Amino acid sequence: MSEKMPQYSITVGELRRALEPFPDDWELTFGSGNLEFYRTKARGEKLVQIEFNQNTWPVHLDNA
């Protein structure tokens, strides 16, 4: 039996639509707050990679 591999990518349009309801001055967190946005990088003709740094120290979010 062949299992379908999980998809770990979305299109830029899907990401924009997902963020559309939120004002530009709202903050984003990634994971449980331990991922820090690093950069975006073109990796192919139609491929953009979003890169993160992962913090290894405990993060305490206010109002979490």
Residue owning tokens 């990518």: 9
Alpha-carbon gap, residue 38 to 50, rounded angstroms: 8
- The three-state (H, E, C) secondary structure of 15-31, written as one string: HHHHHCCCCCCCCCCEC
* pLDDT given at position 35: 87
Q: What stretches in the chain show pLDDT beneath 70?
A: 1-2, 5-6, 57-64
Question: What SS3 class is residue 2?
Answer: coil
* pLDDT given at position 63: 57
Is 0.85 topped by the overall pTM? no
Question: What SS3 class is residue 34?
Answer: coil
